[in-house]
Structure 1
Amino acid sequence: MKKINILAVTHHDRENINPIRPEASQIIGLHHSGQVNVVVLCNPGSGLVSFFEKEGIEVLTDSLDKKISFSTIRKIRNLINNRNIDVLHLFNNIACSNGATAAIGTKAKVVAYRGQTGNISRFDPSCYLTMLHPRLDRIICVAKAVELDLKKHVWGNKSKAVTVYKGHSQLWYQNDKADLSNLNLIEESFRLSLVANLRPRKGLHVLMEALALLPKDLNIDVLLVGADPNSSKVQELIKLSGREERIHPLGYRNDAPEVAAASDVTILPTTKREGLCRAVLEANSYGVPSIVSDTGGNAELVKNGVTGLVVPPGDPKSLADAIFKLYHNRDLCRDFGNAARERVINKFNVEQGVEETLVIYRSMIDA
């Protein structure tokens, strides 16, 4: 069987490797499958360069900092032609707008990545540079909910949108729980974590309103990873809870998974535009169950009543009831956590992501 020549275009400028691990591991898994030849194009200075090179993957660099860059387009087009690229795999919007444009008139099949629901419209011209770009042959969505949402907007062949779950490895989750001794948490408290870049849609206000509905004598501490402790907006939201002294905004942390591991339950009360939340997968991998809102791919990630609880979005009362239920049933909470870890191992592993991506590559080339 002829090997497939892949050019993967991606971008990563954070020191923390956690956000990019599933993507990077998919590329590495494809490389080690023996079925493809992989070349990666990413931004110079990216931590991905050494990450990939130690796995024997050839890495080229480009600034990848403009939505449309003629120099980037030329570089990608030359690589497609000179390297006889069969599949161009584009992992973010800048990669998509430049890469899909570069592929016009070439034989390369073009694959894009879609990570969340919403924020796309047929009436928005900028969308025709990304998810509605006419040169895309497949769009790999991170969850079925994302696929179904995208199909409402895609013109023509809607089957170009397909779902492949991001793969996680249990090897990433062997660290000790985060040391929270500096927070002086009350002994035996029930600890909730919310790990998110706290945009309004992540639902911090919903969690704070839910906490205000709970009995005041509950021994609960709340860990907010990603919430700037110096932000006046965050402090205003914390006041909604009525228990400010038990809410701990921790800011940005590189050990977010380990903070979640130190909690009893992780919460994700997103109100809209969700994908397949990495923070939930990380917590579940440590055996910590989740309470999530039913938006985006959350209900695919958390099996309601088996690995955690799913509540309606924007509903503080339902969220409060879910917290109350697990607070008063620690055995059920632990059972959910154990089941959640097994679900990640069986359904959201690196191997399934690589295998399904290879099937998509072959289906395009053989068509």
Structure 2
Amino acid sequence: MKPARDHARPRHEIGAAGDPAKQIVFVTLSLDVGGTDRHLTALSSELVRRGWPVVIYCFNREGVLADQARAAGVRVIPPPVQAEGRRSVALRRLVTSLRAARGLRKLLEDEQPRIVHFFLTEPYIFGAPAARKAGVPIRIMSRREVTPEHGRLHLARRLEARIHGEMTAIIGNSRRVVDDLIGEGVKRERLGLIYSGVNLSAFANPPAAIEVRRELGIAADALVLVKIANLIEYKGHADLIAAIARLDRATRERLVVLLVGRDDGAQPALREQAASLGVADSLRFLGQRSDVPRLLAAADIGVHASHMEGFANAILEGMAAGLPVAATRVGGTPDAIIDGVTGLLVPARDPAALAAAIERLAADSDLRRRMGAAARERINSAFGLAGCVDGYEALYRGLMAGRLPCEIRAVGLDQR
């Protein structure tokens, strides 16, 4: 672990230039390149542009997107001690989180923001009590993932349920996530729904597919699939590999699969699986990348095989790039993909169904073009970043005016 490089500043320096009465402190784990990290970086940057002074306090470490956020005028504060990696042993992680919570409380007491907004489980569990003790008047939690039936996250939800009553508002990013929150006892009047949004400008002038393929050493006539997800068991990479092995020989021979995402320990087993099924040559493990829109421009089909999701940014980005997406029908995915129109939905943990969807798209270039165009139009009309930020602004302004989330139309549960 290494010491943090930033410390609390006077209240007037809390964020970029803007109205001090609108100060917001976001609390998250880090600013790496996961879906929440990219969402929060884009959201905070746009809020600063609109005149909101914004701070992001990281519980674990800064992450690779911190400098991008700072360049946009966001103040990024690391914890008192930064973890060397995203994951660490339990005792060390507990100590780091407790110290981060103390650092957060001091920041909030010194700078007295109007709003503190939590993302992800660990910052919420450890940070919410600090915000209450510091007397922050408006406290918000955003949930961006569904609750599994078993495991550590399921147990963490029991702890979260004890904190929910201290929040001014709790926001889900899909209908399924909102349903989970209702099941945890959150009162409907304190619930809101804000879908994630895509920065459409990142996809406005894509490079030529052949240019990106040349850089990656991919043939111009190859069939390119892309899956954007960190290598974690529940993201379904093993199901995708099993599905690839089921494709007909002609499809496999022209297939290249780009697997983009940080390895959280699953890659050796995935490589072994691919080798045992005879499809290793079709896979490209590209690791963590910051040029996702460029990689999507090289692809023909997007794939998302997760076992659970809140509302995946990767799916929205694939659709914004004009790709038909074959995805599992989990979490908030059906809120984005219209089955048979903008993509294809299949059951989770079903390689045969996923293979059939891929085969259908692989065999019909006209279908891919129609679905891809419809997918892009759906993103442009319903899931752009500007509309997403409009929702957050309406939430903050409404709460500052003393309204409940249920009284703020832009975050109502009856959307779309």
Specify the TM-score bucket, using the shorter chain as the normaliser. Answer: 0.7 to 0.9
Describe the superposition over 1:95-153 as per-residue Cα deviations: whole angstroms up to 9, x where unpaired: 32233111225252211121111247899664355464242232222222221123212
Partner in structure 2 of residue 9 of structure 1: 27
Partner in structure 1 of residue 377 of structure 2: 342
Flag the 1:345–1:78 CA change in 2: closer, same or farther, 3 A: same
Partner in structure 2 of residue 76 of structure 1: 104
Once the two structures are TM-superposed, the CA of residue 39 in structure 1 deviates from its matched residue by 3.7
Counterparts of 2:271 and 2:27 in 1: how far apart (Å)?
A: 40
Unaligned runs of 5+ in 1: none
Once the two structures are TM-superposed, the CA of residue 183 in structure 1 deviates from its matched residue by 6.2
**Which amino acid is the alignment partner of residue 314 of structure 2?**
A
Partner in structure 1 of residue 90 of structure 2: none
Partner in structure 1 of residue 388 of structure 2: 353
**Which amino acid is the alignment partner of residue 190 of structure 2?**
K
**Which amino acid is the alignment partner of residue 355 of structure 1?**
D
> Does the Cα contact within 8 Å between 2:168 and 2:190 map onto a contact in 1?
yes
Partner in structure 1 of residue 179 of structure 2: 148
Describe the superposition over 1:187-243 as per-residue Cα deviations: whole angstroms up to 9, x where unpaired: 522221222212222222322332333321223332223487994411232146544
Describe the superposition over 1:142-166 as per-residue Cα deviations: whole angstroms up to 9, x where unpaired: 222221123212x352443422112
Once the two structures are TM-superposed, the CA of residue 53 in structure 1 deviates from its matched residue by 4.0
Once the two structures are TM-superposed, the CA of residue 261 in structure 1 deviates from its matched residue by 2.2
Partner in structure 2 of residue 103 of structure 1: 131
**Which amino acid is the alignment partner of residue 189 of structure 1?**
A
Question: What SS class does the counterpart of residue 314 from structure 2 fall into?
Answer: helix
Deviates more, 1:345-354 or 1:130-139: 130-139
Give the length in aligned residue pairs. Answer: 363
Once the two structures are TM-superposed, the CA of residue 57 in structure 1 deviates from its matched residue by 4.1
Flag the 1:59–1:186 CA change in 2: closer, same or farther, 3 A: closer
Flag the 1:64–1:285 CA change in 2: closer, same or farther, 3 A: farther
Partner in structure 1 of residue 38 of structure 2: 21
Counterparts of 2:302 and 2:193 in 1: how far apart (Å)?
A: 25
Identity %, equivalent residues: 26
Counterparts of 1:305 and 1:123 in 2: how far apart (Å)?
A: 33
**Which amino acid is the alignment partner of residue 141 of structure 1?**
G
Partner in structure 1 of residue 142 of structure 2: 113
Deviates more, 1:296-305 or 1:199-208: 199-208
Describe the superposition over 1:306-344 as per-residue Cα deviations: whole angstroms up to 9, x where unpaired: 211111212223222212221221011012112212222
1:313 aligns to 2:367 (yes or no):
no
Partner in structure 1 of residue 229 of structure 2: 196
**Which amino acid is the alignment partner of residue 7 of structure 1?**
V
Flag the 1:113–1:328 CA change in 2: closer, same or farther, 3 A: same
1:263 aligns to 2:293 (yes or no):
no
Partner in structure 1 of residue 246 of structure 2: 213
Counterparts of 2:234 and 2:35 in 1: how far apart (Å)?
A: 22
RMSD of aligned Cα (Å): 3.4
**Which amino acid is the alignment partner of residue 170 of structure 1?**
L
Counterparts of 1:344 and 1:362 in 2: how far apart (Å)?
A: 26
> Does the Cα contact within 8 Å between 1:211 and 1:320 map onto a contact in 2?
yes
Once the two structures are TM-superposed, the CA of residue 289 in structure 1 deviates from its matched residue by 1.7
Once the two structures are TM-superposed, the CA of residue 265 in structure 1 deviates from its matched residue by 0.1
Question: What SS class does the counterpart of residue 217 from structure 1 fall into?
Answer: helix
Describe the superposition over 1:259-298 as per-residue Cα deviations: whole angstroms up to 9, x where unpaired: 2321100111112x21222222222222122100100111
**Which amino acid is the alignment partner of residue 339 of structure 1?**
A
Counterparts of 2:375 and 2:81 in 1: how far apart (Å)?
A: 37
Counterparts of 2:300 and 2:128 in 1: how far apart (Å)?
A: 44
Counterparts of 2:98 and 2:237 in 1: how far apart (Å)?
A: 41
Counterparts of 2:282 and 2:62 in 1: how far apart (Å)?
A: 40
Counterparts of 1:50 and 1:246 in 2: how far apart (Å)?
A: 35
Once the two structures are TM-superposed, the CA of residue 17 in structure 1 deviates from its matched residue by 8.7
With structure 2 as the length reference, what TM-score do the two structures score?
0.75
2:115 aligned residue (83, 87, 94) = 87
